[in-house]
Structure 1
Amino acid sequence: MQSEIPSGGVDVGRPEGVRFGLAGIQTIFGIDLRTLALFRILLGLYLLADICLRLRDLTAHYSDAGIMPRMAQLNHLSAGAVSLHLANGSALFQAGLFAMAALAATCLIIGYRTRVATVASWILLLSVQNRNTFILSGEDNLAVLLTFWAMFLPLGARYSVDAVLDRNLDTTDNRYFSIATMALLVQGMSMYFFSALLKSDARWIPDGTAVYYALNLEYMATPFGLWFRQFEPLMQGLTYYVYFLELVGPFLIFSPIFHRTLRTALMVAFMTMHIGFWAYLEIGLFPVISIIMNLTFLPSWVWDRADGWLARRRVDGLAIWYDKDCSFCLKACRLLRMLLFLGDVPIRPAQQDAQIGPVLEQHNSWVVTRGDAVSLKWDAMHPLVQASPLFRPLALPMRLAWVGRLGDKAYDIVAANRQFLARMSESWFPWRPIPIRAGRFSNGLAGIFLVFVTIQNISTLPFANWQLPRQFILVRQALGLYQNWTMFAPHPELTSPWPVIEGRLLNGEPVDVYRGMDGRVDRTKPKFVSAAYANYRWRKFLSNLEDQSYLPVRPFLAAQYAHYLCRSWNADREGGERLFTLEIAFNVEFTPPSGAPRVASERIVSSYDCFLLAG
């Protein structure tokens, strides 16, 4: 371990034990650089998945032809909030911004210009969330918060293109501490702790019936969740488990006593809880982003053991030789070593060896040696892949004759264009150091925002009764730092709705507008109520129309949705087939206490004339 530690100068790699004082704080609130790399890759993959899922409803959710035209959203956008997506209402413009976000997320995954990619991802994620705020959930809050804190961290210090381009980064210690690492970890646990404080209803404590009520929300419950409802004692036990894990777990995970054991056990406990949420409830990617957050607690000893396991499976005597006058060649070799998890396999200039140098010059090829065996061109890939602890199974098909021919052709193309690739690499992939150490300004800013989000969280508690200053709210909305962890708080919802939207055509015929079908609406309860919604974002929007807590904005939301339904129906219909009127209603089933019968009633939101709406 070198003398200069990237945490600000204090060695955080000391033996396990009871830690107090500065060293203990840095161990408890530090994050391994390899864990940050995992966080970067998974966050980028999450952002790509989020983009793909949003693209399903590109026109309906983000264009002026959808449920929320720009002027409608602007009239209900919080002061301080901004959105690039509000600059233009066409679906093509929105698709262009989605493509930019996908590019930034891809750069984040591979770790290319990581800081810039993180900032761009945060801006575009906040922007798309502000484009339509009526389809958001806790998943979106957590994602933008994690991306915000990621901007303060050296995410590209390990397993990245940026790391390949830093000649000296391999010598830095893996253990890292800054105020931003503390903020990221505290942010994650704040979600659980404040959620537990907001779960104040007796259905949580002392009754233990909250999970029963949650699984009876059939408009969210999965088929597995519906099946699990028969085990009432287990549901009561899970209620207590979730509540006390959220209440006590955030403190124990930062405990200086038995720190290693408690941190690992609680990290696994929180992740298994989210796996349970995913199995029981259709709540989008919330379990995924929550598990990603929990993995930021992955301790160094896990990586150290993994490195030891990988080292035992590496092949001795392996070396990579490159042309010392080819900077591009060195970068390519370093990138390949990283991708194949080859650890400290040496990369050496061929000209330094009296035997290897002439071989490289004669064949115009890089060289890979394994003991006395010498491999060139595409064949040189085989011993490297065979030595890779993860990609070793690919070594066998690489020996196929046709794969070898294609590989040699590809290598010859690269070799023939080496000068061009060298110039391109100097422009796009120059050698550059990655700043690891957090400066005073960065630490100070992260500390200010940590206090900021803590104040925001405390203000959500009923007993706080705080009136936050307008300037505070403007900053909060501008940076996406709003959070109010009220999922199933103070208790799970007690009603489960599904939409019933009947219309009348100009020719007088009834139609099922919601399903886009002719004939009267089928009002019978679906076998799986959750399947009545296209996806979780549509579920969020439509349930807002029925939710009594949305009464102040219900007329606005219902009118926007009715206008969208009328436009969509009449876009490709003429004459008497055009939609004349529609009625938005929901069948709402109240969740009774265990053993009591379930009763559904129809709740009419409003009726609309399509031609008056169009006028």
Structure 2
Amino acid sequence: MTIKLASIRTIFGIDLRTLALFRVLLGVYILIDLVMRTGDLAAHYTDAGIMPRSVQIDHLYVTTWSLHLANGAAWFQALLFTIAGFAALGLLLGWRTRLMTVLCWALMLSLQNRNTYILSGEDNLSVLLLFWAMFLPLGARYSVDAALERAERVTTNAYCTLATAALLLQGMSMYFFSALLKTHPIWYEDGTAVHYALQLDYLVTPFALWFRQFDDLMSGLTYYVYALELIGPFLIFSPIFHRTLRTVVMLAFMTMHLSFLFFLEIGFFPFISIIMNLTFMPGWMWDRLAAWLPVRSNAPVAIWFDRGCDFCEKTCRLLRVFLFLGDTPVRPAQDDPELGPDLEQRNSWIVTFGNDRTYEFDALARLVSLSPVFFPLGWLMRRGLFRKPGARFYAWVGRNRGAFSRFSARWLAWRETPARFGAVTQGLAGLFLVFITVQNVSTLPWSGLSPLPDAFRMVRQALGLYQNWTMFAPYPEMTSPWPVIEGELTDGSVVDVYHDRPGLADFDKPEVVSAEYANYRWRKFLSQLEDQSYEDRPQTLALNYARYLCRRWPEAHPDMPALATFVIYFQIEVSQPPGQPKEVETRHVWSHDCFG
């Protein structure tokens, strides 16, 4: 039997349609991330919150930068959040894609550097993916940029450069080096790593609380995760049985992250990891999807616009791209001796289906109904409830065609020159690939490369290229904390400060400990606060969190006396081997006087 080996271009290339999916999912991820952060905008990113700028600056490396540190007011942070949201929307749509990618990377890195004590693995990975995205033609397919290209310059979907190799290797390095850092026997001998991970009540979901009764399953999952992280990166790049192995390993990693989603409260890390894994989606999958989801018409379809109307032509091209209509022709009606006069008489674009013609809003509804993805929307648009409003909307657009043409000329300009991803871009991608590889190797205790030179760390911090994949490595945490804060108001009454309610604080273990935290960023901050209390140095996090609680109390309780004093405790639950009960101890972390 002859074994066919995959080529280097196949192994390290990425289909342009996959890059388009990568772009869209990154845009969606950033928008959701910004919305989630907005709920704690004042608490996490202003001088009135838990991390004033003067404190954060003292804890940043010399080359770490942040636009968000320029002003500590909520309005300024909201402005930067808004700009980042528009950049993410531009990235999602593929409008001026490379510029939007650079903006998203810069604003994401800036935002993360504003408060480094609420960050987790998802933040590190998202910045890295955006960094590599700057070296790739994310807007070559299914984008505004692609719709506005005068001529298609990239005729094949196969795309392989140093940048595609770097993105794929970056993704797999997360798993491989994480496996190498899992040096404790509980991973490869005892098989109890998942048991200990699911003992962290402050981090696990209610489903995990139920699931951890199955010791054998947890042991099997331990070996599965360790083996997948260690061997999977080699299999996914295998030239032998490449198509099968890449598909199986990609799906295995994605299902692993979905299981994390069910077991652990770790924010969006599973989602950004799945986005990373989807960059391995091969071109044959897209070809298969195209065969399953063809344009829904047996007759040839064509879209005809009014020559000389810049806005009309661009709208038709955008509809063709975003309705997934493939190579449906878009032509000036004046090119056809019958359709030209028809367009002039009706003052409407025309969509033809063989010998049939449709006009105005009906043409749009019919065109949407042909989309292999959005055809249900087309069915709705053709119902009577939507036809009259649709007709009025079409007439309004027609009356303001001049204004729309001026807008499109300014903001939707034709792409006359291709985005350049040439020798300089690829050379930089190759250089940074070496850079992250050296850094990953330096995290291994036996490498002899640590500590890295100061110049190396300066570049790393300036560009957000930090690599240290200690995901439950060398072993999971062994303590699970949750906060208890009891205070006294100026009138002498006792209050539960953490839960914002009168009465004594409850030191008993909650039914679901992870629900004690407002969200995963608060969990990260408070767990770091508890960790810092063991260190023989100023407890910066505790002090600033206490000051924040003093400021927040009168805002949350304007009709109550002021908060005078309080004590921050943490209940610490210590994990035990299988079959042994856990121990709980109370740790005094900080005492604070709001007027002292």
1:507 Cα deviation from its structure 2 partner: 2.5
Deviations 1:309-331 (A, max 9, x none): 22374432221111122222111
Letter in 2 for 1:185: L
Preserved contact between residue 252 and residue 262 of structure 1 (Cα < 8 Å): yes
2:454 is the counterpart of 1:474: no
1:167 Cα deviation from its structure 2 partner: 2.2
Preserved contact between residue 295 and residue 370 of structure 2 (Cα < 8 Å): no
1:548 Cα deviation from its structure 2 partner: 6.0
Map of 2:288 onto structure 1: 305
Letter in 2 for 1:376: Y
Preserved contact between residue 208 and residue 264 of structure 2 (Cα < 8 Å): yes
Partners in 1 of 2:164 and 2:380 — Cα distance? 43
Preserved contact between residue 370 and residue 383 of structure 1 (Cα < 8 Å): no
**1:557-596 matched pairs, under 5 angstroms:** 557-571=541-555, 577-596=561-580
Tell me the secondary structure at the aligned position of residue 534 of structure 1.
Answer: coil
Deviations 1:383-440 (A, max 9, x none): 2122211222223322233422211211122222222222221221111146366311
Partners in 1 of 2:475 and 2:434 — Cα distance? 28
Q: Which moved more, 1:549-558 or 1:406-415?
A: 549-558
**1:158-557 matched pairs, under 5 angstroms:** 158-169=141-152, 172-311=155-294, 313-433=296-416, 435=418, 438-465=421-448, 466-547=450-531, 551=535, 555-557=539-541
Deviations 1:53-80 (A, max 9, x none): 1111011000000000000101111221
- Structure 1 pair 425/574, CA: closer, same or farther in 2 (3 Å)? closer
Preserved contact between residue 161 and residue 335 of structure 1 (Cα < 8 Å): yes
1:554 Cα deviation from its structure 2 partner: 6.3
- Structure 1 pair 236/54, CA: closer, same or farther in 2 (3 Å)? same
Tell me the secondary structure at the aligned position of residue 294 of structure 2.
Answer: helix
Partners in 1 of 2:65 and 2:430 — Cα distance? 24
- Structure 1 pair 305/549, CA: closer, same or farther in 2 (3 Å)? farther
Preserved contact between residue 482 and residue 513 of structure 2 (Cα < 8 Å): yes
Letter in 2 for 1:397: L
After TM superposition, the score normalised by the length of structure 2 is 0.97
Partners in 2 of 1:128 and 1:42 — Cα distance? 19
Deviations 1:578-599 (A, max 9, x none): 2221111101111111111122
- Flag structure 1 segments of 5+ consecutive residues without an equivalent: 1-14
Map of 1:17 onto structure 2: 4
Map of 2:67 onto structure 1: 84
1:509 Cα deviation from its structure 2 partner: 2.1
Q: Which moved more, 1:33-42 or 1:571-580?
A: 571-580
- Flag structure 2 segments of 5+ consecutive residues without an equivalent: none
- Structure 1 pair 573/261, CA: closer, same or farther in 2 (3 Å)? closer
Map of 1:10 onto structure 2: none
- Structure 1 pair 301/271, CA: closer, same or farther in 2 (3 Å)? same
- Structure 1 pair 331/559, CA: closer, same or farther in 2 (3 Å)? same
Preserved contact between residue 64 and residue 113 of structure 2 (Cα < 8 Å): yes
Partners in 2 of 1:253 and 1:215 — Cα distance? 29
Letter in 2 for 1:17: K
Preserved contact between residue 315 and residue 387 of structure 1 (Cα < 8 Å): no
Preserved contact between residue 222 and residue 281 of structure 1 (Cα < 8 Å): yes
Tell me the secondary structure at the aligned position of residue 551 of structure 1.
Answer: coil
Tell me the secondary structure at the aligned position of residue 543 of structure 1.
Answer: helix
Preserved contact between residue 67 and residue 110 of structure 2 (Cα < 8 Å): yes
Deviations 1:490-536 (A, max 9, x none): 10111111101111222222211111111111111100000000000
- Structure 1 pair 390/567, CA: closer, same or farther in 2 (3 Å)? same
Letter in 2 for 1:299: P
Partners in 1 of 2:556 and 2:82 — Cα distance? 29
Q: Which moved more, 1:371-380 or 1:162-171?
A: 162-171
Partners in 2 of 1:32 and 1:554 — Cα distance? 52
Preserved contact between residue 507 and residue 576 of structure 1 (Cα < 8 Å): no
Preserved contact between residue 506 and residue 576 of structure 1 (Cα < 8 Å): no
2:41 aligns with one of 58, 63, 66: 58
Identity value in percent? 60
1:213 Cα deviation from its structure 2 partner: 0.6
- Structure 1 pair 553/294, CA: closer, same or farther in 2 (3 Å)? farther
Partners in 1 of 2:227 and 2:89 — Cα distance? 38
Map of 1:606 onto structure 2: 590
Q: Which moved more, 1:101-110 or 1:483-492?
A: 483-492
1:545 Cα deviation from its structure 2 partner: 1.8
Tell me the secondary structure at the aligned position of residue 34 of structure 2.
Answer: helix
2:13 is the counterpart of 1:30: yes
Map of 1:47 onto structure 2: 30
Q: Which moved more, 1:594-603 or 1:184-193?
A: 594-603
Tell me the secondary structure at the aligned position of residue 186 of structure 2.
Answer: coil
Letter in 2 for 1:558: A
- Structure 1 pair 197/323, CA: closer, same or farther in 2 (3 Å)? same
1:147 aligns with one of 121, 130, 136: 130
Preserved contact between residue 350 and residue 357 of structure 2 (Cα < 8 Å): yes
Tell me the secondary structure at the aligned position of residue 175 of structure 1.
Answer: coil
- Structure 1 pair 121/575, CA: closer, same or farther in 2 (3 Å)? closer
- Structure 1 pair 550/93, CA: closer, same or farther in 2 (3 Å)? farther
1:123 Cα deviation from its structure 2 partner: 0.6
- Structure 1 pair 552/349, CA: closer, same or farther in 2 (3 Å)? farther
**Pairwise CA RMSD:** 1.8
Preserved contact between residue 163 and residue 434 of structure 1 (Cα < 8 Å): no
1:549 Cα deviation from its structure 2 partner: 9.0
Q: Which moved more, 1:30-39 or 1:503-512?
A: 503-512
Q: Which moved more, 1:532-541 or 1:507-516?
A: 507-516
Preserved contact between residue 544 and residue 550 of structure 1 (Cα < 8 Å): no
Partners in 2 of 1:585 and 1:206 — Cα distance? 37
Preserved contact between residue 533 and residue 539 of structure 2 (Cα < 8 Å): no
Preserved contact between residue 296 and residue 369 of structure 2 (Cα < 8 Å): no
Letter in 1 for 2:595: F
Map of 2:93 onto structure 1: 110
Deviations 1:33-66 (A, max 9, x none): 0000000000000000110111110110000000
Q: Which moved more, 1:349-358 or 1:550-559?
A: 550-559
Tell me the secondary structure at the aligned position of residue 413 of structure 2.
Answer: coil
